[in-house]
Amino acid sequence: MRIGVLTGGGDCPGLNAVIRAVVLTGANRYGDEVLGFLDGWRGVLEDRAQEMVPERCQDLLPLGGTVLGTSRTNPYATPDGPGKVKATLAARSIDAVVAIGGDDTLGVASKLGAEGVALVGVPKTIDNDLSATEVTFGFDTAVQIATEAIDRLRTTAESHHRVIVCEVMGRHAGWIAAEAGIAGGAAEILVPEVPFDLKDVCERLARRHRRGRYSSIVVVSEGALPADGEDLERARAATSSTSVDQFGHVRLGGIGAWLAEEIERCTGYESRVTILGHIQRGGTPTAFDRVLATRFGVAAMRAVHDGDFGTMVALQAGEIVRVPFEAAVGISKVLDRRLLDEVAAPFLG
Ligand code: F6P
């Protein structure tokens, strides 16, 4: 067969490991040819691609980012986008496409699948908020990076008796904040799923201070906000951006700085902010993510050769399974509250 592969959305450690698995499984097990489309759906729209021969995969396993490039291009927000996609696939004699991406990329795959395009999806996002899979590759690496950062922030916070707010990624879901916060022993973990009360946060920090704990790490997801009221309005004003991508997502960022300022104002404790940002997405994937990415890539090629299109490979109870796109896209996998209420709670404050 002749298979197309693409990576869309935010980059993520492990993307190259999936590409490698797709190319080598295709070549070595099935005798396939694999064509890599460049920059996600944009490369398909613009007919930009490169042949992915096995030799191209030699150094890919530990490499961060994606050698195919990526973009947040939405063919359904482009005039005659789906028509152009189909025309490129026909012109390139592509029998099936492996689309590696998160909710947006796989949402496009789902719609194209309904229009008759043969597609299999591979779930990707450091945010870990994609439904139907227990975990996505990239998440483990992001948590590891954030935890190492928190460990470093702790020693400087302790030396200066400061509060340090660490802003991590997580647009709608607090998975990174919760896991890195637990692993790093944070005093506060603030996530999008649980609007916070600024006064309560400050009161807990003050209580901690009275117990002789003069430094605190506050981990906050970029998408976290205060509960209703004046604080919410002020936080929104401080963090709002007018920049929107083709899928309608605003660019987030700024809650950490706002929070650090508010904490200092309300408690009098010297406070600082560190925004981890894209450091969490860069660099080499952990061993866990390399293995998961490889398993997903191999399983996607098996699905292609079984003709099981319109599906996404997923991790469930340790096994790689296939689920229909509809089970995964458009449904955000929110944080398991037990992580906060049961695991983190005894150690907070
Ligand atoms: O891919 C998910 C994510 O990392 C979010 O956590 C974050 O809000 C967003 O991407 C940032 O996207 P960009 O790199 O396009 O600014």
For the segment 159-183, what is each residue's pLDDT rounded down to a tens digit? Answer: 999 999 999 999 999 999 999 999 9
Distances (CA, A) of 275 to 20, 66, 186, 321: 32, 23, 15, 36
- Give the phi and the psi of residue 296 in degrees, each rounded to 5: -65, -45
Q: Does pLDDT of 290 surpass 90?
A: yes
Q: Does pLDDT of 242 surpass 80?
A: no
What is the atom index within ligand 1 of the atom nearest the CA of 9?
Answer: 1
Instruction: Assign 239 a pLDDT band (cuts: 50, 70, 90).
Output: confident
Q: How many residues does the chain have?
A: 349
Query: What's the rounded Cα separation, in Å, for the pair 198 and 207?
Result: 14
Domains of the chain with bracketed CATH? 2-137+285-328 (3.40.50.450), 139-282 (3.40.50.460)
Q: For the chain, what percent of residues have pLDDT higher than 90? A: 95
Pocket test for ligand 1, best of 12, 70, 127, 246 (most atoms within 8 A of CB): 127
Closest CA to 138 of 9, 6, 301: 9
Query: What's the rounded Cα separation, in Å, for the pair 208 and 210?
Result: 5
Region 15-23: mean pLDDT is: 98
Query: What's the rounded Cα separation, in Å, for the pair 285 and 276?
Result: 17
pLDDT tens string 295-332: 999 999 999 999 999 999 999 999 999 999 999 999 99
| Ligand 1 neighbours by CB, cut-off 6 Å | 9-10, 125-127, 169-171, 222, 251-252, 281
Which residue carries 């796109």 as its tokens? 325
Count the Cβ atoms, other than its own, within 10 Å of residue 252: 19
Ligand 1 center to 24 CA (angstroms): 29
Distances (CA, A) of 191 to 41, 157, 170, 333: 31, 22, 8, 13
Looking at residue 100, what is its pLDDT? 98
Amino acid identity, residue 296? F
Q: Does pLDDT of 39 surpass 80?
A: yes
Looking at residue 69, what is its pLDDT? 98
196: CB partners within 8 A, 6+ apart:
190, 224, 225, 226, 227
Closest CA to 170 of 15, 314, 333, 342: 333
| Residues 136 and 42: beta-carbon distance below 8 Å | no
Of the candidate ranges 8-12, 160-164, 250-254, the one whose mean pLDDT is the lowest? 250-254
| Residues 284 and 100: beta-carbon distance below 8 Å | no
Written as six digits, the tokens of 257 are 């700085």
Residue of 11, 103, 127, 289 marked active site: 127
57: CB partners within 8 A, 6+ apart:
19, 20, 23, 24
Q: Does pLDDT of 240 surpass 80?
A: no
Average pLDDT, the chain: 97
* pTM for this entry: 0.96
Ligand 1 center to 143 CA (angstroms): 15
pLDDT tens string 261-273: 999 999 999 999 9
Looking at residue 16, what is its pLDDT? 98
Written as six digits, the tokens of 202 are 């400050």
Query: What's the rounded Cα separation, in Å, for the pair 310 and 116?
Result: 9
Pocket test for ligand 1, best of 171, 176, 220, 251 (most atoms within 8 A of CB): 171
| Residues 181 and 174: beta-carbon distance below 8 Å | no
Query: What's the rounded Cα separation, in Å, for the pair 26 and 96?
Result: 12
| Residues 146 and 159: beta-carbon distance below 8 Å | no
In the annotation, is 11 catalytic? Answer: no
- Max CA distance (Å), the chain: 70
